Amino acid sequence: MNKIVLITGATSGIGLACARKFAENGDRPILTGRNEQRLDEIRKELTEKGRDVLTLAFDVRDREQATKSIEELPAEWREIDVLVNNAGLALGLEPEYEGNLDDWETMIDTNVKGLLTMTRLVVPGMVERNRGHIINVGSVAGDAAYAGGNVYCATKAAVKALSDGLRIDVANTAVRVTNLKPGLVETNFSNVRFHGDNERAATVYKGIKPLTGDDIADVAVFAANAPEHVQIAEVLILATHQASGSVIVRK
């Protein structure tokens, strides 16, 4: 059965890769993000390939805007089968005692509260229909803190706890919950973290072949298409020469 798949943060990186992979799989993506122009470009790209796509421009940090967007979905798009909570970011790499409070607020509002908002808006319908799948994009950073990661690591630890908690809450239904935990993925992630410092961002991936957004999207599509009795609860995905959030062998 072709699924309706809502993907947050779909304009770049893992979210964009998920948009393309689910569309290639014959599913019907609902793509959300803050950049309306970029959403329009992606919709054009996919529709030209014969895919059925809907785009919604809003920021997951804006609860009112998110609620309005979901409540006003066209009838043929309302029964969301898969929610990919991908929108997230890291900002800064300072010691916790020197961190930027605005950066902290943005990370918490996006990575934790934004995920919760989308879960609260979409999952009740899944429970009512007794089918659905929530795929949360966490991180290896949620397993253990690394130097300078402090608040970002805390938000991804929260994603793990929220995924585990939701899985418990829906265990009496056929709704499934997956937490994907990528390691080094070469996207615009580090560029955002370092506030547009491309040179510094490039050093993150120096000496190692990192994962790509497509690698993570492949796992998401696989999890969503597992047999109904199979719940892929958690997947840690690392580059071959990365052993943990802080152990990376560069050659």
Non-local CB neighbours of 215 within 8 Å, separated by 6+ positions: 182, 185, 237
Contact (CB, 8 A) for 214 and 143: no
Question: At how many degrees (to 10) do helices 213-224 and 13-24 cross?
Answer: 50
Non-local CB neighbours of 161 within 8 Å, separated by 6+ positions: none
Q: Which of 97, 146, 152, 205 is catalytic?
A: 152
Q: Residue 50 burial by CB count (10 A; 0-12/13-18/19+): exposed, middle or buried?
A: exposed
Whole-angstrom distance, CA of residue 152 vs CA of residue 132: 28
Contact (CB, 8 A) for 110 and 61: yes
Query: Is 97 one of the catalytic residues?
Result: no
Q: How far is CA 52 from CA 13, 177, 223, 239, in A?
A: 21, 25, 21, 33
Contact (CB, 8 A) for 10 and 39: yes
Contact (CB, 8 A) for 8 and 85: yes
Q: Which of 11, 40, 10, 122 is nearest to 77 (CA)?
A: 122
Whole-angstrom distance, CA of residue 108 vs CA of residue 104: 6
Active site residues: 152
